[in-house]
Each structure stands twice: as C-alpha cells, then as structure tokens.
Structure 1
Amino acid sequence: MASSLPSSSSSLPKADDEAASNQEIYDQLREVVSTYPAAPRLSGIGRPYVRHPDGWYAFTPGVLNAMVIKRHLEARDTDVLLATFPKSGTTWLKALLFVALHRNADGRDRLAAHSPHQLVPFLEAQVFTNGRIPDLSSLPAPRLLMTHVPSVSLPESVAASGCKVVYLCRDLKDCLVSLWYFWNGLAPAPWDLGEAFRQFCDGVSLFGPFWEHALGYWRWHLERPAQVLFLTYEELAADTLGQLRRLAGFVGRPFTAEEREAGVDRGIVDACAMESLAGLEVNRSGKADMAESSVPNSVFFRRGVVGDWKNHLTPEMARRLDEITESKFRGSGLVLPRATTHLKI
C-alpha cells in the first residue's frame, strides 16, 4: 500500500511567489513564526522554544528554517538523509556515513581536517538559514543530508523520491543528560537538571517531544522498510563494525569481500570512534556556524557512554521517563533499550 510522510502543509502559510528575494521569503515566514506560542524560557539560556504547528519545539530559527526547507528542498532518489533527535549520536553517524560513502576518495583525510558538521551540515541550521535558499541541484549524487526536523514536517519530496533515510534513536535518558551537558557548555548561566527533566517530561525539548519524534520515523520505517532504516545508538555501540556494514549496504555502497579482507571497514570504525574524533585538532579548537551562532566543535564530544544517565538521574527520574515511554509507545511495536538498574558506572 502506498504511503507517504504525514503532511502539514495545510497548517502553514503559502510562501509569496512574488517575493523579490530569499530574504523577503524569510521575513514573511518570520512574521508568521512570531505568532506561534512560546514555551517558558530556559534558565541559563534566556530564550524560549517556539511551538511549531505540527507540535514540536525549537528556537525561532529552527522553526523558521524548517518551514523554508519544507517549501524549497527537492529530494532526489539518490539522496541519503540522516535524521536524529538531538544528542542521539548525530556526530558519530555523520562521520561513519561520510567516510563510508567517500572511502574510495579522500574521506578519511577530509574527516581529519573538517568537523563532521562541516562535512554533513544540518539542513535547518547550516544550509537553509540566515536568508539562504541554496541551489543544491549541482551537488553530485549521493547527496548526504542531515536533519533534526521531525518526520511530520519534512518536505513531501523526501517520501515521494524514495531517497534513503537513516534514523538513529537513543535511550531518551541518555539523550536528556547529553542535551543538558550540551546546553550547559554553551549557556551563560547553569541550567538546572531538575528543570531540564521536568521540561523534557512535558515534551518541551529541542525538536521534541522525544516520543513523537521517534514514533514518526518508526512508523515510516514500518511502512517503507526498504527506504527508512531505524537504528539505535545502543546497537551501533555494541557492534559498530556490523552496523557500519549494515548502513553501507542500506545506502547502496556495501563493502566488497576485498575491502573486508583489507580491513577498510575496520579502518573506518577506528577513524570514526568518538575518542579519535575528539582528539582531532579541528574538533578541539574549531567552531561550527549554526543558524545565528557559532558553536565550538568541542561541545559535540563528551563520553558517548551507553547508560551514563545512571550517574545523573535519580531512580525516580528514570522510572518516570520509562513510564512515559511505555505509555507513548504502547501498541507501536517500538521498544527502546532500557537499563533498569541504577548503578554508578
């Protein structure tokens, strides 16, 4: 049975075809976004999330840029779109797929000289932003694209084109802790973990609620398993080599027997290990331009340990998040890794 990504075009205003410039298109949509409801301001960060009509949250640039993408990105059947909820292993996934797709060229050399976020930029934070509506038609295939935008708000061409989509999901408790560390690495004042937990439970998180984000891509995977791969961070961490081979095959670039014999795939795993990436000079001292700010590359690298939430969340916090997850996912068939033992690691 034919199916497509859920569409919300009816809930968004039409762009003015007579707009004299890309900036005018952005300005028109910014006026619309200014009417959307805002969540309470984040302590330490000092600005609120805006609620998109499709029910998810982001800062104003994220909501605005997602609207521009929905109208102007034309996906191709040869594209590879990576999608994640924030702090789900995005940087690692970018590195692995980039080098795997460019392994016959200079992929590893480019990874050593450029941040994964330069090699595979975020559509909504680095490509369609600051008044830019770039012409991507001249980029060679396969175009490797990346987004945090929920499936409900992606352009219809993503489904219609049949392009490959790789979704990486992670235990939400580790996502929460990693996101909390990330914002505290950027915020001028500390962000209380208790407040972060309460907002996360309420669904008020960057590109959240988490549960709806994961379910959207999960349901699409069930409908189109040949087009959408649903992978967990925990699977990737437990068997990185096996999952890299799976990813390469899924995007149409399987490792040959000769490459396996020569250890090409193992070399990619080693080069893309988080400790290897974190040790590169570009990731220790460089910066990535993200929407309206410049973000130090170093804040994208922390421990990457499965189950690190046990060092930060109380048993009651963990239990509450698991209860919400069970309720939200009931009947969907989606079961995420769950560590029930509250131990220091």
Structure 2
Amino acid sequence: MDPKELPPNVRDDKISEETKKLISSLPSHTDSQGQKLCKYQGCWYYYNTLQGVLNFQSGFQPQDTDIILASYPKSGTTWLKALTVALLGRSKNHSSSNDHPLLYDNPHGIVPFLEIDVYHESSSPNLDNFSATPRLFSTHMPLHAMQETLKQSPCKIVYVCRNLKDTLVSTWLFACAIFKIEPTRSILDSMFKSLCNGTIFYGPFWDHLLSYWRGSFKDPKHVLFMRYEEMKAEPHEQIKRHADFLGCPFTKQEEESGVVDKILDLCSLRNLSSLEVNKTGKVNNVDHKNFFRKGEVGDSKNYLTTEMENKIDMIIQEKLQSSETKNNLKSGSPELEPNHKEINPLIERNKPIPSQVPMKKTTPVLYESCC
C-alpha cells in the first residue's frame, strides 16, 4: 500500500530533526501492519502522532471554556463527538433541522483531534476556525500527556471508556479497513498479543484508562468519566449527565417536548451511518463509512476465543487491582473503586465509597500526575 494513502498520523514523514533524535532514544516496536511505534511518557505512538503530541504540548494555549473529548481508540469516540455537537448546538441547530452540522460533515470533521489534526504539522497552527465558544477538540492522548499543558486550566474533559474486548475487535476491523487488507485471524492474534503486552497504539490500555479515572475523582468538576456500556444501556440518563457536566442541562420543557429523544435518534450509529455524508467522503484518508460498524456491546464474543477473553479479563483485573482498583468481570469493563473516600461515577455516583484510608480535604490541583 502506498504510504501516502495511509492516515497522516500513522506515517513518519512529518517529524522534525529534533523529534528524530528523541525517537532514537525511545523504546520502539513494530505493529502487525509493519508500522513503527515509539514509547514516549509511557504511551506508544506512531512517529507522526508523536510529533503532533509534542507540538500540542509546546504550543497549545487552553481557554477556560475549552471542551476536550477524550477516548482510547475505538471506544465510542464517533458517538461521543456527535452527541456533544448536538448537545452544545441544540439552541440554534434543532435535531430535525435541515442545516444541522451532522448532516453535512462527519463527527471527526467537526471535532478534530488535537494531536492528529490541529497540531499535526505545527506547534502554532491557524486556529481561526475555532473562534466560536466553547472550542471543541478531541484527543486519544492519556490525561498525563496533557497535564502540564492544561495545568490550572478550568477547561472540561469528557472521557469515554469501553469494554477492552470489544475495543480490540473494533480496532482490528478498523485497521484492516484502513490498510485495505483482509481481517485475518493472524492479524487479530498479533493485535491481541500487542494489546496484552501494552505495545499497541496509545497503549497500554490500563494506563490510559487509569489516567482519566484518577483525574475524574481528583477533579470531578473538570473531568467526566463515562462508560460506553452505560451510554448504551441508559442513554437518557447518560446524555443528561453529559449535558449537566458541560453546563448545558436540559430544561423540563426540553425533556417533555422530546428533545433528548430527538438528539439520541439523530446521533444513533444507525442514523449517522445512513446519512449520505457518511457514505462518501474521507477524513485523514479514512473513508467516513469506516467509522461506523455495529457498535454493539459484547460483539467481541463472535471473534475472540474463550482463552483470549479469559486472558484479557485476567490482565485487566491484575493491572487495575495493582492500582488499588477492582474489576467487574461480568461486564468485561472496568468497574473502578479507588481506595479513597471518593465518588465513583461508575457504581454509585452520588454516594461516597467506604474508605479505610480517608483522603485529606485539600483543594485539588488540576491535572496533577495521574498515572
């Protein structure tokens, strides 16, 4: 495959001489498609992606009203972007409006990635297209990669987490579609091995998840932790929680008039995938249609062996328990419980969890070390 046909962030043609020197000193790995990755600040990146991360870290100037949508790849990013666009713009763009932005552009075109799009080539990009307030960005970076850049900023971050087994299968099929190759069992096996070793794009998964989880209970006013499975199971409750966090709660009149239902219908994967704009067109050399598949919870059971599922469960349990957290293996998704008297947005959002070691009452410092 011609490298020019690959997404720009996967390639290695936009890295500076300084970054090349840095890369030469970093741990390296080659993925199942033969693309090179390096480990920087505990996270694995493709070379061009690392350049974008470095550009972001040195050049991004946060505004107080900024909103950043964060996720591990293939964890519900597209859906989260669509929902957020619809939530923030509902006063001027009704869900049934023929002028709604989601009818004319893919969610990834509306909400660009900081390290993949905005800061991909420069630490001082032209931000004229982000004159509206609030500015809306997205990222796959772990929270600790942004902590210095966002230090003391009151901007808000929404993170969505997904069952790792479903994420793996979605990543496998998405990568094969991008590279235009058959999604073979051997490729899945190779990705599974990299996932378990943590040597996968934006991995290790558990470090990524924990950075945002810890951020969410250290500073719940500025970091919201959401679960894809909960969003699917109780969409009304979760979208209202999302809206409340962003400071644009639904009014009683909106709820009674069906605004919540209309937004959920507009942003459903079924509807988004049927829109003409998502049947054609590309973003970052990726066909819009490739961002939509089933989106089902538990679909990984149709692809992974019992041994693979058990190993993922075991690894997640081990990694999270070693970090003073626990895992709910019934759902295959992290049910995290920090060993502090803090609110767990996954289990009991409004009740304190009993603590053996009460945490001192202090004013939280935004984005302090989270992993």
Asked if TM exceeds 0.5, the reply is yes
The structure-2 alpha-carbon separation of the partners of 1:36 and 1:63, relative to structure 1 and needing over 3 Å to count, comes to farther
Which of 106, 115, 121 lines up with 1:124 in the alignment? 115
Residues of 2 paired with 1:48 and 1:315: CA distance? 30
Query: How far 1:198 sits from its partner (Å)?
Result: 0.5
Residues of 2 paired with 1:33 and 1:285: CA distance? 39
The CA deviation string for residues 71-90 of structure 1, in whole angstroms up to 9 with x for no partner, is: 11111221111110000000
> Which residue of the partner structure matches residue 102 of structure 1?
89
> Which residue of the partner structure matches residue 31 of structure 1?
20
Matched-pair contact (CA < 8 Å) for 2:142–2:208:
yes
The structure-2 alpha-carbon separation of the partners of 1:51 and 1:312, relative to structure 1 and needing over 3 Å to count, comes to same
The structure-2 alpha-carbon separation of the partners of 1:244 and 1:282, relative to structure 1 and needing over 3 Å to count, comes to same
Query: How far 1:38 sits from its partner (Å)?
Result: 5.4
The structure-2 alpha-carbon separation of the partners of 1:336 and 1:81, relative to structure 1 and needing over 3 Å to count, comes to farther
Instruction: Map 1:1-345; keep pairs closer than 5 Å.
Output: 27-37=16-26, 39-43=28-32, 45-52=33-40, 54-106=41-93, 108=95, 109-131=100-122, 133-136=124-127, 139-190=131-182, 192-289=187-284, 294-330=285-321, 331-333=323-325, 335=327, 338-339=330-331
Which amino acid letter does the alignment assign opposite residue 139 of structure 1? S
Q: RMSD between aligned alpha carbons?
A: 2.0
The CA deviation string for residues 54-105 of structure 1, in whole angstroms up to 9 with x for no partner, is: 1111211111110110111111221111110000000000000011000112
Residues of 1 paired with 2:153 and 2:328: CA distance? 29
Q: Secondary structure at the match of 1:167?
A: strand
The structure-2 alpha-carbon separation of the partners of 1:268 and 1:334, relative to structure 1 and needing over 3 Å to count, comes to farther
Matched-pair contact (CA < 8 Å) for 2:269–2:295:
yes
Q: Secondary structure at the match of 2:24?
A: coil
Residues of 2 paired with 1:96 and 1:279: CA distance? 16
The structure-2 alpha-carbon separation of the partners of 1:184 and 1:38, relative to structure 1 and needing over 3 Å to count, comes to farther
Q: Secondary structure at the match of 1:204?
A: coil
> Which residue of the partner structure matches residue 361 of structure 2?
none
Query: How far 1:188 sits from its partner (Å)?
Result: 4.3
> Which residue of the partner structure matches residue 9 of structure 2?
none
> Which residue of the partner structure matches residue 4 of structure 1?
none
Matched-pair contact (CA < 8 Å) for 2:79–2:268:
yes
Residues of 1 paired with 2:256 and 2:310: CA distance? 46
Residues of 2 paired with 1:131 and 1:195: CA distance? 33
The CA deviation string for residues 323-344 of structure 1, in whole angstroms up to 9 with x for no partner, is: 111111115335466447xxxx
TM superposition outliers: structure 1 runs of 4+ over 3 Å = 36-40, 135-138, 188-191, 331-340
Query: What percent identity do the matched residue pairs reach?
Result: 37
Residues of 1 paired with 2:80 and 2:105: CA distance? 15
- Identify the range of structure 1 (144-153 vs 156-165) with the bigger mean alpha-carbon deviation: 156-165
Which amino acid letter does the alignment assign opposite residue 312 of structure 1? Y
Structure 2 gaps, min length 5: 1-13, 333-371
Q: Secondary structure at the match of 1:158?
A: coil
The two structures have a TM-score, normalised by structure 1, of: 0.85
Task: Count residues in correspondence.
Answer: 310
Q: Secondary structure at the match of 2:83?
A: helix
The structure-2 alpha-carbon separation of the partners of 1:227 and 1:60, relative to structure 1 and needing over 3 Å to count, comes to same
Residues of 2 paired with 1:247 and 1:135: CA distance? 29
Which amino acid letter does the alignment assign opposite residue 106 of structure 1? N
Q: Secondary structure at the match of 1:332?
A: coil
Query: How far 1:223 sits from its partner (Å)?
Result: 0.7
Q: Secondary structure at the match of 2:178?
A: coil
Residues of 1 paired with 2:222 and 2:112: CA distance? 22
Q: Secondary structure at the match of 1:161?
A: coil
The structure-2 alpha-carbon separation of the partners of 1:57 and 1:168, relative to structure 1 and needing over 3 Å to count, comes to same
The two structures have a TM-score, normalised by structure 2, of: 0.79
Which amino acid letter does the alignment assign opposite residue 64 of structure 1? Q
- Identify the range of structure 1 (148-157 vs 295-304) with the bigger mean alpha-carbon deviation: 148-157
Residues of 2 paired with 1:79 and 1:335: CA distance? 32
Matched-pair contact (CA < 8 Å) for 2:15–2:47:
no
The structure-2 alpha-carbon separation of the partners of 1:226 and 1:276, relative to structure 1 and needing over 3 Å to count, comes to same
The structure-2 alpha-carbon separation of the partners of 1:338 and 1:146, relative to structure 1 and needing over 3 Å to count, comes to farther
Matched-pair contact (CA < 8 Å) for 1:84–1:168:
yes
Residues of 2 paired with 1:76 and 1:332: CA distance? 34
Matched-pair contact (CA < 8 Å) for 1:76–1:158:
no
Residues of 2 paired with 1:316 and 1:305: CA distance? 21
Which amino acid letter does the alignment assign opposite residue 46 of structure 2? F
